[in-house]
Amino acid sequence: MSSESLYVRHTPSFGAKLFPFAPEGFKAFGAFNTEALAAGALSVKTKELIAVAVSHITGCPYCIEAHVGKSKAEQTSFEEIFEAAAVAAAVKAHSAFHNAANALKSYEGSQEPDLFPRSNLELAGKLESVNEEIFNSFQAYIHTSLKAGRISEKDKLLIAVGSAIVEGSAYSIEAFTIRAKAAGMTVEELAETTLVATVLKAGSAMAHRVNAYQAFERE
């Protein structure tokens, strides 16, 4: 592999070399990571599928590799992993698509003080009249990605909620949380989904300490 690559495998990991300089902080993160991904209201398998999806949102190759491996250890098939990734892609698309409601209001000269009213979720439906083909294709993809397959509909919606939290879209968090609750998600499951999403978002930054250390040491 080229020495110019920014994602070279290092053995031992460069990440471990930073541990002595902030041991308590790294230990605290490790404890949080262990607790967030342990079995609770959600199984380890479901948590790891959420983690796989969220790692596709953050785009961290270290996290993708780590959590695909952990998912495989939970007897997860690649079909399930691919479905989780498709849900993550659907959430990112949902986030971008519903921001078009803001674009429409801006284009029409809206001066409303609230930039993210819940009514914008319904306003997005008006985009069908702008381009019916694109609108219907988008709706079909969301439907296909979230319908039950190798992963149940409820678990896909849990994955969508975790992905939406990391994506940071108010529209997506609202829409998928409501759907997940209707599918039977409990508040305990919501809490654990939130923790998995949080530790994966933080974990992406933590994982990239490898790149930071590599840059620091580069001559």
* Structure confidence by residue, pLDDT tens digits, 101-131: 889 889 999 898 988 888 888 888 888 889 9
Q: Locate 20 and state its tokens.
A: 């002595």
Distance CA 159, CA 93 (A): 15
pLDDT bin (cut points 50, 70, 90) of residue 219 is: low
* Structure confidence by residue, pLDDT tens digits, 138-195: 999 999 999 999 999 999 999 999 999 999 999 999 999 999 999 999 999 999 999 9
In a 13 Å sphere around the CA of 3, the CA atoms on its Cβ side amount to 2
197 belongs to a structural domain: yes
Residue keyed to tokens 């429409």: 104
Q: Residue 23: helix, strand or coil by DSSP? A: helix
150 belongs to a structural domain: yes
| pLDDT beyond 70 at 42 | yes
pLDDT at residue number 11: 60
What percentage of the chain carries pLDDT values higher than 70?
A: 95
Helices 187-207 & 170-182 angle (0-180, nearest 10): 140
15 belongs to a structural domain: no
Distance CA 200, CA 67 (A): 10
The residues near 194 (Cβ < 8 Å, ≥ 6 apart) are 162, 165
**CATH number of the domain where residue 83 is located:** 1.20.1290.10
Task: Say which residue, 99 or 5, is predicted with more confidence.
Answer: 99
Q: Locate 206 and state its tokens.
A: 């933590």
Q: Locate 195 and state its tokens.
A: 């923790």
pLDDT bin (cut points 50, 70, 90) of residue 58 is: very high
pLDDT bin (cut points 50, 70, 90) of residue 1 is: very low
Q: Across residues 66-74, what is the average pLDDT?
A: 97
87 belongs to a structural domain: yes
| pLDDT beyond 60 at 2 | no
H runs (alpha helix) in the chain: 14-17, 23-36, 44-58, 61-73, 78-107, 119-123, 132-146, 153-167, 170-182, 187-207, 209-217
pLDDT at residue number 123: 84
Q: Across residues 204-213, what is the average pLDDT?
A: 88
Number of domains in the chain: 1
108 belongs to a structural domain: yes
51 belongs to a structural domain: yes
* Structure confidence by residue, pLDDT tens digits, 10-29: 665 767 888 899 999 999 99
Q: Which of 85, 35, 31 has the alpha carbon at shortest distance from 55?
A: 85
Number of CB atoms found within 10 A of residue 25's CB: 12
Range of the domain at 144: 23-214
